[in-house]
Structure 1
C-alpha cells in the first residue's frame, strides 16, 4: 500500500522475525553444545519453535495478501480492467506476490519439521527464494520515480539480496552461528529500513522530504549505515541475553539432575525412603 502503514506492517514483521531468529539460533546452539554424546534428534521444544515460525509465516502471508487485495482502494482480486483496458493496482499485486512466496517458505518450514524424509535444507532454500523474489520485485519497483524515492528503495535491495545469499549458504553450511546471526541482522535491518522508507515518503507528521535533493540522498545513505550498526547491536544484545539465560537455566537443570542421581544411587537414602513408605 502506498502509505506509511503499508511500509510499517512488513517492517514490523521483518524486525520481529529477525529478533526471533537470533533467539532461536542461540537456543539451538546452546542445545548442540550441551547435548549428550550420540544424541542427534532435537527435543520436541525445538521442533515446536520451527512449527511456530512456519505457522507465523503462513498466517502473516495470508493476512498480507488479504489486506493488499481487499482494502478500500484495493484491486479486489481484479488484475485487468477490460473497460479501461488497464492493469488494476499492480503495486498491491506485487506486494501480494511477495507475501505469497514467504507463505511458501513457511509451508516448507512446517513440512521439513514434520516430515524428516524431506531433503535437508529445503526450508532454507524456500526462504532464500522468497527473499530473492522480494528483491527482484523491488528492483523493478523504482523505475521512473523521483531520485530520493528510488534511492531509499535501492538501499533496501542490499539486505534483501544479502539475506537471500546468506540463507542460500545455509543450505550447505548447516548450524553455522555466524551465518545464522548475520541472517538475523539483515532481517532486522530490512525491517527498520521499511520504517525509514515510510517516514521519508509518507511522513506521519512534520514537513515532507524534498525527493529531488542531493543532500537528502547523502543523509539517507549515512542513515542506512546507522540502521546497520543498530541492527548489529540489537542482535548482539539479544544473543548475549539469550545465551546467558540459557546457561543459567541449563545449569539449574543439571544441578537438579545430579541431585536426583546422587539420591537414587545412595543405598541408605533408598532404605530410608522404603522405611518411610512402610510406616505410612
Structure 2
C-alpha cells in the first residue's frame, strides 16, 4: 500500500530536481540559444564552483538514503523466510531496485565529472537516466502490491507520468540541442514529484474524498459512487497541477528572458 512519508520523500527529491532542471534549462537557453545542449543534470553556480555538482549529490545521496530505509529499516533485516525472499516485504525489495538505479545514475554522472576513468557525453547519461525511469515504470506497472479502486487510479496517473519521463529523457539523447525536449523533461519530473505529494495528501492525509477511508491498509469507498467521485477529483487535481506548472514555466521563462536574455534570442523568436 504505502505511507505518507513513503510518498513525500521521493516526491521531494523529484520535485527539487525537476524545478531546478526547468529553471536551469530556461536560463541556459535564453543566455545562449545557438549553443544550447540538453543536459541530464545542471551545475549550481557560485561559491567558486564548490556547489557545481550539488544536483548529482542530491540524486545519489537521496536515492541511497531512501534505499537504506526501504531495504534495511522497512524490512527489519528479515530478508529471507524459509530460504526465499520474505513475501511480506516484496514491495520494499522492488522499491530498493528502483532506487538503486537512481543511485547508479547519480554516481556514474559524478564519476564522469570528477575522474578520468569514466567520461560520458550527455547523450549517454540521457540513456542511463531513461533506464532508471524505465526501472521505475516497470516497478509500478508490475508491482507485487495490488493497486485497486481509488488507490489504483492515483497509481495509474503516476505510471503515465513516469512513462512521460522516459520519453522526454530518451528524446534528449536523439535531439541533443532541443530546448523543448529538455524543458519537457524537467516538467515531467516536476509533475511526478507533485503527484507523489498529491497521492500522499489524498490517500494518507487530510484530502481523502468523502465516503472513502483507509482501513486495513486499503482504501475502501462506500457507496460505490464515492469511488467515482474520488476519481473525478483526482482528474481535477491533476489538471490543476499541470495548469499550475505550465503557468509557472511561462512566467519563469519571461523572467529569465528579461534578466539573462541574449540579443540573439529576440531574432530567433
Q: TM-score range by the shorter chain?
A: 0.7 to 0.9
Instruction: Name the residue aligned to 1:239.
Output: 253
Residue 128 (structure 1) shift: 0.8
Q: Aligned equivalents of 2:211 and 2:98: distance in 1?
A: 27
Residue 196 (structure 1) shift: 1.2
The 8 Å contact of residues 184 and 235 in structure 1, kept in 2 or not, is answered as no
The 8 Å contact of residues 126 and 169 in structure 2, kept in 1 or not, is answered as yes
Normalized against structure 2, the TM-score is what? Answer: 0.77
**Cα offsets for 1:55-112 (capped at 9, x unmatched):** 22111111111222343xx114443222898424122222222211111111232234
Normalized against structure 1, the TM-score is what? Answer: 0.74
Residue 236 (structure 1) shift: 2.8
Structure 1 pair 15–33 and aligned structure 2 pair: CA distance change class (3 A): same
Q: Aligned equivalents of 2:179 and 2:63: distance in 1?
A: 27
Mean Cα deviation higher: 130-139 or 219-228:
219-228
Q: Aligned equivalents of 2:84 and 2:23: distance in 1?
A: 51
Q: Aligned equivalents of 1:220 and 1:44: distance in 2?
A: 35
Q: Aligned equivalents of 1:140 and 1:187: distance in 2?
A: 21
The 8 Å contact of residues 134 and 160 in structure 1, kept in 2 or not, is answered as yes
Instruction: Name the residue aligned to 1:39.
Output: none
Instruction: Name the residue aligned to 1:56.
Output: 58
Larger relative contact order, structure 1 or 2 (CA cutoff 8 Å, min sep 6): 2
Structure 1 pair 244–208 and aligned structure 2 pair: CA distance change class (3 A): same
Residue 2 (structure 1) shift: 2.1
Q: Does 1:228 align with 2:230?
A: no
The 8 Å contact of residues 56 and 110 in structure 2, kept in 1 or not, is answered as yes
Instruction: Name the residue aligned to 2:183.
Output: 181
Instruction: Name the residue aligned to 1:12.
Output: 12
SS in 2 for 1:121: helix
The 8 Å contact of residues 25 and 183 in structure 2, kept in 1 or not, is answered as yes
Mean Cα deviation higher: 162-171 or 116-125:
116-125
Q: Aligned equivalents of 1:238 and 1:20: distance in 2?
A: 12
Structure 1 pair 34–44 and aligned structure 2 pair: CA distance change class (3 A): farther
Instruction: Name the residue aligned to 1:167.
Output: 169
Instruction: Name the residue aligned to 1:273.
Output: none
Q: Aligned equivalents of 2:80 and 2:108: distance in 1?
A: 31
SS in 1 for 2:143: coil
Aligned Cα RMSD in Å?
Answer: 3.2
Q: Aligned equivalents of 2:208 and 2:151: distance in 1?
A: 18
Pairs aligned (count): 241
Structure 1 pair 178–84 and aligned structure 2 pair: CA distance change class (3 A): closer
Find the structure with the greater CA-based Rg. Answer: 1
Structure 1 pair 209–193 and aligned structure 2 pair: CA distance change class (3 A): farther
Name structure 1 gaps, 5 residues minimum: 36-42, 252-280
SS in 2 for 1:171: helix
Name structure 2 gaps, 5 residues minimum: 36-42, 213-219, 222-226, 264-269
Q: Aligned equivalents of 1:85 and 1:124: distance in 2?
A: 33
